[in-house]
Amino acid sequence: MMTGAQYRASLDDGRSIFFEGERVKDLPGHPILGPAVDVVARCYDRFHSTAPDAESPLMSVARSAAELKARLPLLHEADLVAHVTYQSIMTLTTAANRVGDARYAERVHAYVAGIQARDLRVTECITDAKGDRSLPPGKQADPDAYTRVVERRPDGVVVRGAKLHISGACLGHELMVIPTKSMKPGEEPYAIACAVPVSAPGVKIVNTSYAPRHADTRDFPISARNSCPEGFVILDDVFVPAERVFLDGEVQHAGVFAHALGLWERLGGLSFLAEEADQLVGFAQLIAEANGLAGVGHIREKISEMIIHATLVRAALEAAISNCGFGADGAAYPDELYTNAGKYQGAANYNQMVRHLHDIAGGSVLTAPAIADLENSEVGALVRKYMAGASGVDGAYRMRLFHAIRDLTADAYGGWKFVTNIQAGGGLYAQRIVTRKHYDLDGAKKKALRAAGLLDEKP
């Protein structure tokens, strides 16, 4: 297994990384991207073992509901890149099972075993540039709007396209490239799934980041520990050797990869939404107590509503895991219906949770002075005095709560969360489609007919 120091050194592999118009030569030393490298490195150290054949507990394939469940708290301790690595491993394993082509399955299993043994990080590259959304890949003005094979060689393929919004792409070692959707006959070049090293010639990653840009990160207690850049990944005629190709032209299987990723990405999203919902309840209760309003009727009602939401999101997560299914190789995967419905419900109501929190907390969410102001000899004591809340609640403590709430819900990181909760895992629309597909609609119709006394009647 790698240590944090070895991970940092591994990033010096000639990769082409860009940030705000500049080529990044020293990723760990970069003022905005560097702290995100630190987060990943700390996770390597946190799970490191010196045992000779040790394997990261984050990367193994779960084989029971209990194992699936036991993985969640570990993933919450882990950084986002470790999390998407786990999801990538599970996506490839699930898809290989479902495609059922022995040649591809063998390549996937060999690739996954190599990643686990070398303790590498893999990011999920599914979302294409997509050009005009109303047109299929082959009808786009620019045929590269969807990632495609542009050349076949005896020993592999050459791939061209771009994968957008890829979380942590510049921080990983490998890119799992898979089709963004189902493909039809005639779209064979677009039915490509493969693994590409970040350092492969032709890979260029342009980054964005919501990391705090302030020298004093005490006012950003959450985003300073959680920043992870998003990568605009350009595949500019990248050669992929045959052993790294997991689908090539079989249009009937292209959707399998997207669906498998959707399942694991949404399970991850659902488990984060369950954690975050509890956090939001906790912040609402803490700030209500600090404001001296925890006993007031309308505040208690809002917090009760938040508790009900948090409990139902967690219930969906529990149901997704306890109703898990199994692939031919014994790998456990979460239930589609509960995963998609739960992720949808958690994401669609996230803004309502934040609305309640902001309503309860008050305007200091945005206007609390900086923590550094407490240290100013002229105003520090006065800021502390006037920021004090309920009897016994120190002004500095209350300020720190406000900064955490602002950072989590009302600043750059909070904005990132708002959009991510809606879009990550394919957007709310995708979750509605999959939920409907797996819901027993005929069973529901039968129940309605029985209730109406129409069960044996002809329509």
Residues near ligand FAD, by CB under 6 A: 124-127, 130, 133-134, 163, 165-167, 230, 416, 419-420, 423-424, 426-427, 429
- Rounded to whole angstroms, the Cα distance separating 365 from 357 reads 10
Residue 165 or 300 having the CB closest to ligand FAD: 165
369's tokens: 């002075």
357's tokens: 């929190």
Residue 146 or 416 having the CB closest to ligand FAD: 416
Q: What minimum distance in Å lies between the beta carbon of 146 and ligand FAD?
A: 11
Residue 191 or 424 having the CB closest to ligand FAD: 424
Q: What minimum distance in Å lies between the beta carbon of 321 and ligand FAD?
A: 22
* Bridge partners, residue 158, by sequence: 151, 239
Q: What minimum distance in Å lies between the beta carbon of 24 and ligand FAD?
A: 19
Q: How many CA atoms lie within 13 A of 432 on its CB side?
A: 6
The string over 80-119, giving b where at least 16 C-beta atoms fall within 10 Å of a residue's C-beta and e elsewhere, is: bbbbbbbbbbbbbbbbbbbbeeeebbebbeebbeebbeeb
Q: What minimum distance in Å lies between the beta carbon of 225 and ligand FAD?
A: 17
* Bridge partners, residue 163, by sequence: 128, 233
Residue 126 or 288 having the CB closest to ligand FAD: 126
Q: What minimum distance in Å lies between the beta carbon of 261 and ligand FAD?
A: 8
Q: What share of the chain is helix, strand, coil (3-state, %, to 5)?
A: 55, 15, 30
Residue 171 or 313 having the CB closest to ligand FAD: 171
Residue 19 or 402 having the CB closest to ligand FAD: 19
Residue 251 or 424 having the CB closest to ligand FAD: 424
**Among candidates 267, 153, 201, which has minimal Cα distance to 16?**
201
**Among candidates 188, 298, 197, which has minimal Cα distance to 247?**
188
Q: What minimum distance in Å lies between the beta carbon of 424 and ligand FAD?
A: 5
Q: What minimum distance in Å lies between the beta carbon of 83 and ligand FAD?
A: 10
Contact 149, 159 (CB under 8 A): yes
Contact 388, 394 (CB under 8 A): yes
* Bridge partners, residue 240, by sequence: 157
